[in-house]
């Protein structure tokens, strides 16, 4: 997906903004608190139809206003579309080519933004649920039926939870059977994606960090049955314990993903910068898989990319970003030496955005 | 301001499934603009249906009279019983002519999320009928959605210890679909391809 132009009305600190973009690299530069991240958030909304910073709509609307509009064109497989996202305090409406979009799941299964943002990285680091959500969202695009299976699983789980709360042990059987059949539909694609990522991670990581230690993503399924029968056996064994707890304690909703670097594990042992580099490697690996598996080029939204990264890493990053043909947006308070002269620049000042002249 | 009688008609029509305020208004205006005998014929048909139609005492399907025609028909196979969710499903299956046995209508499917549990359905009645009528084979034709599948699993487990043969119609139908909207040919295929369910 490529967004050639974007219009904002009453979005965050923007009153009105009309802005044009190129097909590749963009820098959004400016002092703190000027609206760089807000602009990135608007771009994220263009693919995800929701914010990554706020589950509520109200904070997205400019203070004192009652609705905001995000208008944009986008190009997808050589076709140009017009889209509008209208945010009201209580609800949101999306128009695609001037027709109301009925099912946002149809839309978000076609488009994707790869986001790098400090808050999101912190959440990813801290919470297994955030990591699951991250991979689930990617898999919903990468694997044809994944989204449907995920929804199915959630519905089975909700029904089962209801029975567990009411102490209806005898009625769990049918739902455990359905769950047992559903589990491999989630676990196998997850494992497949992690395997594929692991083939790419090392390359990116050594390119960025020059450390020569292997980087791996570990997928730890809570249940990893050989087949639905085995899953059912395990679920059945656990039923009394689940009943005592009153919720579903077993299943893919408890799966975990972890990052290891050499002997070091996860957030506990990895430094800020190391984790950052590891996460970026993961994002770029994912970007590659989007391209090879389904010819999708996500938007790359890299917020505050350069903080906490040393010069060498930044230089190596630049090398890679130059090679990509994604539409890329990078924010920062200034542009590092390595990037001087590259891409399109925009100066963000208090809710206004000024495109810099092409040559400096 | 609309005349009160018209307003009332619109409100009643708007209660019907898939009829919104707009269509309700359109229908109401259409009805009252017709010659008198036409809306009255509709009213009489409604009244008659409401009066005469009820639940069959045996199969809990839709019936004109206490026991439905299907339950009274001695030519039907008295050893096979097809279990469906709703009364209207019986007519879909009848239209496919693949099944000659008796029916049992559950009155829905198990759905804890919506507060529907086995005791809210005609499941105890099913057990009783199977025993009393000496049914040899049960064919489960609940909808192929999650709740329908869960209900099928539940019934299969229920009859596991009994000598009754239990099968589930094959999934010849689109997943997440509704029996009512399945054409006769697809239904026929689904019946012919029925398989042991969770042996
Ligand atoms: N709904 C809103 N209405 C008006 N202003 C808002 C709204 N939401 C956020 N803002 C303001 O927008 C400003 C810019 O925020 P943003 O996060 O985009 O800054 P930034 O340019 O990314 O800064 P930094 O370099 O510190 O990350 C903030 O001062 C914030 O108070
Ligand atoms: Mg910011
Ligand atoms: Zn009957």
Token duo for residue B83: 């279990």
Task: Name the closest-CA residue to atom 24, ligand 1.
Answer: A32
pLDDT over 60 at B173, yes or no: no
If asked whether residues B100 and B168 sit together in one domain, one would say yes
**pLDDT value for A36:** 97
Q: What CATH code is carried by the domain that includes residue B87? A: 3.40.1360.10
**pLDDT value for A262:** 84
Q: For residue B36, what are the contacts with CB-CB under 8 A and spacing of at least 6?
A: none
- Is A30 known as a binding-site position? yes
pLDDT over 60 at A185, yes or no: yes
Residue B59 DSSP SS3: coil
pLDDT over 80 at B187, yes or no: no
Ligand nearest to the CA of A32: 1
A351 touches A15 (CB < 8 A): yes
A139 touches A127 (CB < 8 A): no
pLDDT over 70 at A174, yes or no: yes
pLDDT tens, position by position, B107-139: 999 999 999 999 999 999 999 999 999 999 999
CB of residue A157 inside a 6 A radius of ligand 1: no
Mutate to test the interface with A, among B106, B117, B146 (most CBs of A within 10 A): B146
Task: Name the closest-CA residue to atom 29, ligand 1.
Answer: A33
Query: Is residue B189 very low, low, confident or very high in pLDDT (cuts 50, 70, 90)?
Result: low
Least confident range from B29-38, B100-109, B190-199: namely: B190-199
pLDDT tens, position by position, A80-106: 999 999 999 999 999 999 999 988 888
Q: What CATH code is carried by the domain that includes residue B32? A: 1.10.8.420
Residue B100 lies in a domain: yes
Residue B151 lies in a domain: yes
Residue B112 lies in a domain: yes
Instruction: Closest CB to B111: pick one of A152, A159, A177.
Output: A159
If asked whether residues B10 and B67 sit together in one domain, one would say no
Residue B66 lies in a domain: yes
Residue A122 DSSP SS3: helix
If asked whether residues B95 and B44 sit together in one domain, one would say no
A3: CA distance to ligand 1 center in Å?
22
pLDDT tens, position by position, A206-220: 999 877 788 999 999
If asked whether residues B10 and B92 sit together in one domain, one would say no
**pLDDT value for A70:** 98
If asked whether residues B90 and B147 sit together in one domain, one would say yes
Tokens 């993903």 locate to A257
What whole-number percentage of chain A has pLDDT above 90? 80
**pLDDT value for A148:** 87
Q: How many residues does chain A have?
A: 360
If asked whether residues B112 and B187 sit together in one domain, one would say yes
Pocket test for ligand 1, best of A34, A53, A63, A67 (most atoms within 8 A of CB): A34
pLDDT over 90 at B165, yes or no: yes
3-state class percentages of chain A: helix first, strand second, coil last, to nearest 5: 45, 25, 30
Per-chain mean pLDDT for chain A: 93
B12: CA distance to ligand 2 center in Å?
55
Query: Which residues crowd ion ligand 3, with CB under 5 Å?
Result: B 56, 58-59, 61, 68, 71
Q: Where are the domains of chain A?
A: 1-112+297-360, 119-295
**pLDDT value for B178:** 73
Question: Domain end: B52, B70, B91, which one?
Answer: B52
CB contact (8 A) between residue B153 and residue A163: no
Angle, helices B21-33 vs B4-14, to 10°: value is: 130
Token duo for residue A225: 């049955």
Q: What is the total count of domains within chain B?
A: 2
Chains A & B: contacts with CB separation below 8 Å: 42
**pLDDT value for B198:** 65
If asked whether residues B100 and B151 sit together in one domain, one would say yes
CB of residue A38 inside a 6 A radius of ligand 1: yes
Residue B122 lies in a domain: yes
- Is A35 known as a binding-site position? yes
Of A337 and A231, the one with more pLDDT: A231
If asked whether residues B40 and B130 sit together in one domain, one would say no
Q: For residue B194, what are the contacts with CB-CB under 8 A and spacing of at least 6?
A: B139, B167, B168, B169, B170
In the CATH scheme, what is the code of domain A1-112+297-360? 3.40.50.300
**pLDDT value for A360:** 45
Token duo for residue B122: 């005609």
Q: Which residues of A touch B117 (CB under 8 A)?
A: 168, 171
CB of residue A34 inside a 6 A radius of ligand 1: yes
Mean pLDDT score, B69-97: 96
Q: Which residues of B touch A162 (CB under 8 A)?
A: 112-113
Which of B128, B139, B67 minimizes the C-alpha distance to B100? B139
If asked whether residues B73 and B25 sit together in one domain, one would say no
Instruction: Closest CB to A152: pick one of B146, B151, B152.
Output: B146
Continuous segment of H or E residues that includes residue B83: strand B80-84
User: In angstroms, how far is the first alpha carbon of chain B from the final one?
Assistant: 65
**pLDDT value for B174:** 60
CB of residue A62 inside a 6 A radius of ligand 1: yes
If asked whether residues B82 and B48 sit together in one domain, one would say no
Residue B25 lies in a domain: yes
Mean pLDDT score, A230-239: 95
Q: Which residues of B touch A178 (CB under 8 A)?
A: 146, 149-150, 153
Residue B170 lies in a domain: yes
Tokens 């090398």 locate to A319
pTM comes to: 0.86
Give me the domain span that covers residue B131: 62-196
Token duo for residue A175: 């739902």
Residue B57 lies in a domain: no
Ligand nearest to the CA of A303: 2
Mean pLDDT score, A284-312: 93
In the CATH scheme, what is the code of domain A119-295? 1.20.1050.90
Mean pLDDT score, A222-249: 94
Q: Which residues of B touch A168 (CB under 8 A)?
A: 112, 117
Question: Domain end: B32, B52, B72, which one?
Answer: B52
pLDDT over 70 at A358, yes or no: no
CB of residue A58 inside a 6 A radius of ligand 1: no
If asked whether residues B132 and B45 sit together in one domain, one would say no
Q: Which residues of B touch A171 (CB under 8 A)?
A: 110, 112, 117-118, 154
Q: For residue A278, what are the contacts with CB-CB under 8 A and spacing of at least 6?
A: A205, A215, A259, A261, A270
Angle, helices A272-294 vs A311-323, to 10°: value is: 10
If asked whether residues B42 and B83 sit together in one domain, one would say no
């Amino acid at each position: 997906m490529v967004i050639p132009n974007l219009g904002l009305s009453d979005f965050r600190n923007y009153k009105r903004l009309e802005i044009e973009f190129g097909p590749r690299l963009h820098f959004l530069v400016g002092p703190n608190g000027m609206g760089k991240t807000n602009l990135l958030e608007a771009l994220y909304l263009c693919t995800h139809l929701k914010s990554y910073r706020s589950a509520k709509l109200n904070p997205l609307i400019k203070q004192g206003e009652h609705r905001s509009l995000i208008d944009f064109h986008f190009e997808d497989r050589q076709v140009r579309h017009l889209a509008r996202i209208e945010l009201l305090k209580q609800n949101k409406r999306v128009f695609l080519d001037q027709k109301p979009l009925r099912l946002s799941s149809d839309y978000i299964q076609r488009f994707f933004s790869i986001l790098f943002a400090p808050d999101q990285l912190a959440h990813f680091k801290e919470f297994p649920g955030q990591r699951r959500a991250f991979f689930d969202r990617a898999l919903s695009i990468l694997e044809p039926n994944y989204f449907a299976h995920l929804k199915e699983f959630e519905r089975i789980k909700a029904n089962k939870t209801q029975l567990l709360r009411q102490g209806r042990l005898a009625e769990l059987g049918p739902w455990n059977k359905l769950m047992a059949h559903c589990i491999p539909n989630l676990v196998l694609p997850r494992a497949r994606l992690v395997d594929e990522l692991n083939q790419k991670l090392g390359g990116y990581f050594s390119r960025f960090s020059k450390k020569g230690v292997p980087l791996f993503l570990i997928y730890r399924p809570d249940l990893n049955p050989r087949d639905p029968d085995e899953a059912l056996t395990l679920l059945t064994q656990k039923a009394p314990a689940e009943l005592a707890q009153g919720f579903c304690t077993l299943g893919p909703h408890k799966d975990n993903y972890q990052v290891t670097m050499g002997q070091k594990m996860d957030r506990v042992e990895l430094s800020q910068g190391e984790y950052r580099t590891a996460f970026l490697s993961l994002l770029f690996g994912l970007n590659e898989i989007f391209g090879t598996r389904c010819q999708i080029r996500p938007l790359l939204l890299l917020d505050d990319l350069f903080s906490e990264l040393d010069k060498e890493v930044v230089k190596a990053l630049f090398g890679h970003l130059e090679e990509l043909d994604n539409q890329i947006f990078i924010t920062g308070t200034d542009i590092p030496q390595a990037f001087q002269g590259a891409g399109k620049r925009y100066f963000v000042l208090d809710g206004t955005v000024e495109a810099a002249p092409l040559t400096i | 301001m609309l005349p009160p009688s018209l307003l009332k008609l619109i409100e009643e029509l708007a209660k019907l499934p898939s009829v919104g305020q707009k269509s309700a208004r359109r229908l109401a205006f259409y009805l009252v603009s017709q010659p008198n005998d036409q809306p009255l014929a509709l009213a009489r048909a409604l009244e008659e249906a409401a009066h005469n139609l009820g639940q069959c005492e045996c199969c809990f399907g839709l019936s004109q009279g206490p026991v439905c025609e299907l339950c009274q028909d001695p030519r039907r196979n008295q050893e096979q019983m097809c279990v469906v969710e709703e009364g209207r499903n019986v007519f879909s299956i009848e239209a496919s002519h693949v099944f000659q046995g008796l029916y049992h209508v559950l009155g829905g499917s198990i759905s804890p999320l919506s507060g529907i549990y086995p005791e809210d359905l005609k499941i105890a009645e099913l057990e009783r009928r199977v025993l009393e009528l000496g049914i040899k084979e049960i064919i489960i034709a609940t909808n192929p959605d999650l709740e329908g599948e869960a209900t099928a699993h539940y019934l299969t487990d229920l009859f596991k210890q009994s000598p009754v043969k239990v099968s589930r119609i094959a999934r010849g139908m689109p997943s997440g679909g509704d029996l009512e909207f399945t054409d006769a040919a697809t239904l026929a295929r689904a019946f012919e391809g029925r398989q042991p369910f969770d042996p």
